[in-house]
Amino acid sequence: EACANFANKLWNASRYVHMNIDDHDVKNELPKTLTTEDKWIVSTLNTVAKEVNENLEKFELGIAVQKIYEFIWDCYCDWYIELTKTSVMSKNDDSSMSERSLTAQNTLAYVLRETLKLLHPFMPFITEEIYQALPGSAETIMNEKWPGDENMKVWAEDCADFEKLMDYIKAVRAMRAEMNVHPAKKTSMVIETASPAAFEKGGAYLARFAFATDVTVTAKYEGSTDGMVNVATPDAKGFIPMMELIDREKELA
């Protein structure tokens, strides 16, 4: 049952990619200019490919396939696809948005293709079927170059910054779930952190995924903590006004 669910997840992810790359100039290569989220997903893929190759050399097949499974489900589907939706679905004719959309489309297709190669020895039929529909596909996925050569780049600093942001977003979402805050309810927040650049660059992500109306990033929060809900991660501490999270009259009742 779990494997059937995974196959469905993979199939639906590929459908999303096709919905957003068909009829566009998508090439069988990684774009030259990447955003932070693009660098994160490609770096994570390259790290996973290197680890999977090491596992396969030792015949640790179960560990290898678990890493591919987790990458597809947790990183590619649950995070990267969600991160690209604003870009690839935008109808804005602005040239910068159009360029960002094409970069996201190419990165989506590139990462899917490379991941299918890693997964193919374990799930040959569905991976071949999805691969054949991608632009620039060979006669069979088995003729493709196996991922994991020495040129697979990792942007360590960008990834570290992005993961700090992701950890904070996860913490905010967990807090909101515990308090039964409606997803439509947005709030302001102050973020105290020693890594301000990571959070200042991530304003768009915080607005969409942490439901923030406005964000203040500071090295030290000097304001009052009365009536504030705290959200803490190893790299940041968030202060969110309680009254913006709850319906006061409903709570009193």
pLDDT digits (tens, 9 = 90+) for 24-39: 778 778 888 888 899 9
pLDDT digits (tens, 9 = 90+) for 203-230: 888 998 999 998 999 999 888 888 899 9
Question: Percentage of the chain with pLDDT > 70?
Answer: 95
Are residues 198 and 192 in contact, defined by beta-carbon separation less than 8 angstroms? no
- Measure the CA–CA gap between 166 and 41, rounded to whole angstroms: 13
pLDDT digits (tens, 9 = 90+) for 157-171: 989 999 999 999 999
Q: What are phi and psi of 79, to 5 degrees?
A: -115, -60
Can you give the pTM of this predicted structure? 0.88
Cα-Cα-Cα-Cα dihedral sign, residues 91, 93, 97, 100: positive
- Measure the CA–CA gap between 206 and 204, rounded to whole angstroms: 5
Give the list of residues 6+ apart from residue 197 with CB closer than 8 angstroms, or none: 161
Residue 51: what pLDDT? 95
Mean pLDDT of 55-59: 96
pLDDT digits (tens, 9 = 90+) for 89-141: 655 455 555 777 888 899 999 999 999 999 999 999 999 999 999 988 889 99
Residue 43: what pLDDT? 94
Measured CA to CA in angstroms, residue 32 lies from 99, 148, 177, 208, 246 at distances of 12, 19, 39, 26, 45
- Measure the CA–CA gap between 55 and 193, rounded to whole angstroms: 37
